[in-house]
Amino acid sequence: MVGIGVAGFALALAISLALTPFVKNFAIKIGAMDVPDHRKVHTRVMPRMGGLAIYAAFTVVILLFLPWMPSGLLSSYDRNLIYALLSGGTLIVLLGALDDRFQLNAKLKFLVQIGAACIVVFGFDIKINLVNIPFGSAMQPMGDWLSIPLTIFWIVGVTNAINLIDGLDGLAAGVSGIAIGTILVMAALMGQGSVILLSTVLLGAVAGFLYYNFHPAKIFMGDSGSLFLGFALATLSMLGFKQITVVSFVTPILIIGVPLSDTFFAIVRRWLQKKPIFEPDKGHLHHRLQQLGFSHRKTVLIIYGIAGFFGACAIVQSIATSTGMGNWVTFIVICVLIFLLQIGAEVTGIVDKSKRPVIDFFNRLFLRQQTQSRSK
């Protein structure tokens, strides 16, 4: 499997590197261009639709490799997983490409995303179907009335979360690449052959595109790329480990921790400011880091580091779960991350620039200790 994975990565990388310049010229020819406005960071008109190169490289390699995979290596579930990703992903890429060119209505995009999620759930019977009681051993089947909407919500939510962080050169591609790498490590540890193949090929496709997309970018991935990567990550992170439980479900949340937390803070920020939840703004993490004085490149690298930290936590949590320590490790990881996320939100002002309750509390505590030590 290692040899197949390496070959898949190399071939996808080569195809993505070769195709991206052609996609760039195609986007310019048909007018799929990203025009700067008050909300965007870039100052030049840029071609988008780069996601077509990622999708094409991924799909071509998977279709080439699939017939040659040993029958004993891929179960019927594994093949359903691959077909679900290819089928739903194709619909998502078509949606994104049309949006890159014509700026589609948000409601239409949302409905098509639900349709792609339904392909996964109803077309290939892939869904969350088990629930685990924390700090207990009982594993109970989850009824369709809950598993189906939960699965659709997860796929649509993650798809849009990746789309929301696509605001700087190389940001969405790099964060997605780190998440894919995390899934790859976990799949290797758990011996999930289908996920190893899908992850290595997708990682190669993303890496090839990132060569042209890192700052200063020559092309943007557009919605065709960010929606496809979001859909792929939602599918792989949720379905790569077959038995999804309340405890193990923390793992896929950690894998995509940066876009999910940024989306969560955006919703809270807009709610507090009494603005529509789906109204775009310049309060996302990358905006706030730049407003704090970090350069374009440093902002992206900082967020890469945060994504890597989330990925490391996901791997640790997954290993702990496999050794029977998942409940306590999960509890500790969640507590630490909630604290760090709160501190990070206050430092960056991603929710509110003026309110810093936890930092102010520690400042008061520190000043009180200083006052007491001086009085002695």
Q: Are 199 and 236 in contact (CB under 8 A)?
A: yes
**How many Cβ atoms sit within 10 Å of the Cβ of residue 356?**
17
- Name the residue range of residue 210's domain: 2-375
Q: Mutual orientation of helices 106-118 and 144-164 as an angle, nearest 10°?
A: 130
Q: Mutual orientation of helices 296-322 and 171-190 as an angle, nearest 10°?
A: 20
Backbone angles phi, psi at 141, to 5 degrees: -65, 145
Global pTM reads 0.88
> Mind listing the pLDDT tens digit for each residue in 136-195?
444 455 667 788 998 899 899 999 989 888 888 999 999 999 999 998 988 888 777 888
The SS3 call for residue 133 is: coil
> Mind listing the pLDDT tens digit for each residue in 217-276?
999 999 999 999 999 998 887 754 444 443 355 677 788 888 889 888 988 898 888 888
| Residue 317 pLDDT | 79
| Residue 109 pLDDT | 94
Which is nearest to 198 in space by CA: 20, 78, 52?
A: 78
Distance CA(332)–CA(189), nearest Å, equals 22
Single-letter code of the amino acid located at 202: L
Does residue 212 have a pLDDT over 60?
A: yes
| Residue 352 pLDDT | 85
| Residue 34 pLDDT | 87
Distance CA(155)–CA(92), nearest Å, equals 11
Does residue 369 have a pLDDT over 90?
A: no
What average pLDDT does the structure give for the chain?
85
Pairing relationship of beta strands 33-34 and 139-141 according to DSSP bridges? unpaired
> What average pLDDT does range 361-372 have in this prediction?
81
163 assigned binding-site residue: yes
| Residue 244 pLDDT | 41
HEC string of 59-100 equals HHHHHHHHHHCCCCCCCHHHHHHHHHHHHHHHHHHHHHHHHH
311 vs 6, 153, 199, 249, CA distance in Å? Answer: 21, 22, 14, 14
Q: What percent of the chain has pLDDT over 70?
A: 86
> Mind listing the pLDDT tens digit for each residue in 263-285?
889 888 988 888 887 777 788 89
> Mind listing the pLDDT tens digit for each residue in 102-147?
999 989 999 999 999 999 999 998 887 655 444 444 445 566 778 8
Distance CA(202)–CA(194), nearest Å, equals 12
Please report which confidence band the pLDDT of residue 4 belongs to, taking 50, 70 and 90 as the band edges: confident
DSSP code of 127?
Answer: -
Q: How many domains does the chain fold into? A: 1
